[in-house]
Copies of this chain bind each other. A is one copy, B any other.
């Protein structure tokens, strides 16, 4: 048995980011940039007014002065001429500031009369003008490669005049559930059978991590069926299997994948749940064999599949984020396996984590209700109520 950390490192070690593709800006949210985005235009494109008011020369706009309004420049319609002594041009938010003007007289501080514009309060020179390129100039580096695009980044790329972006394509992850006992949700459940919850859950997990899930038809506990499925998975960037944890089934899995040239990297991790995790390769394709119990499969997905997907998607292959919390209740000493307990969280000036009394790796209801996984290192001593612990908050 190897440690969780070693397992994660070995899974990540051989991964490389997938290739690039071009997507429309409108489809880019959540994607990972494959090339930096630089500004194609300046923002603002010229000196613009930040307020509704008048473009004036500061030296003219003293309190009580009367200015001649020589035109208007609504946003999108710059004033063609220039502002000379004693003149003003009507502007609105976003209007280009005409030549000759250096100051904005906001409309609240002026009175438009038939004989001209009266300055009620002298403006501060240059105030309320956004200079050209204040936000960014042409060529400025705005977004780096490897960044997952947030909503705001989409706005920034739009403002920089990019209709297309280069992103890492979504890693294709084939998902293979195995076992004679499983049926698809909604199908008749055979005698001794159980509904396969892993494929749908893992497909959602893969999609949520930016991948493209390909759910393969499930394979029974049959060497030829598993070999055929592994063959069908060729072309995927990654193969995730579930099941094969039990002694007999494990042999089917190893033998079935073996017919496709499966090279085992490791089997069994010192963790709970998730001990019977398998990792290896069929040709160049990594194969992560998750346990069949859905809680084990989910916990292993959080610890191993999510970082693998991040790595393939072009992101830094960060492991899960651990946060500090305090334990509610007490726990006995831990054994040689790193433990990931399902827990609820409450905020009380800091996180307080209450692990469920029953930590069975087949139980989905407490998993669905959990807010966090509570990590216990191997051989951790017994913990009393209030002890400092580490948690992973569950977002998926």
Contact = CB atoms under 8 A, between A and B. Distances in A.
B162 A93 contact: no
Contacts of A370: 152
Contacts of A26: 200, 203-204, 215
Interface stretch (A15-23, A184-192, A278-286, A379-387): A184-192
Q: Range of interface residues on chain A? A: 35 or more
A62 to B, nearest CB: 24
Nearest to A147: B368
B368 A221 contact: no
A129 B350 CA distance: 38
Interface in A173-219: 179-182, 184-187, 189-201, 203-205, 207-208, 215
A34 B157 CA distance: 36
Contacts of A160: 195
Contact of A159 (B156, B161, B162, B364): B364
Contacts of A208: 29-30, 151
User: Which 6 A-B residue pairings sit nearest by Cβ, starting from the closest?
Assistant: A163-B186, A76-B181, A155-B201, A76-B180, A92-B246, A29-B204
A59 to B, nearest CB: 26
Interface string A26-44: 1011100000000001011
A252 B249 CA distance: 71
Contacts of A153: 368
Interface centre among A45, A162, A198 (most CB of B within 10 A): A45
A291 to B, nearest CB: 8
Given A75-B181, A76-B182, A163-B184, 19 more contacts: A25-B200, A26-B204, A29-B204, A44-B362, A74-B221, A74-B246, A75-B246, A76-B179, A76-B180, A76-B190, A76-B193, A76-B220, A77-B192, A78-B191, A92-B246, A92-B248, A150-B395, A151-B204, A153-B368
Interface centre among A25, A151, A158 (most CB of B within 10 A): A151
B185 A161 contact: yes
B150 A194 contact: no
B365 A135 contact: yes
Interface stretch (A224-232, A264-272, A292-300, A326-334): A292-300
Contact of A396 (B151, B161, B192, B394): B151
A154 interface: yes
Given A93-B246, A136-B365, A154-B200, A76 B192 contact: yes
Contacts of A102: none
A161 B189 contact: yes
A134 interface: yes
A247 interface: yes
A362 B128 CA distance: 12
B245 A93 contact: yes
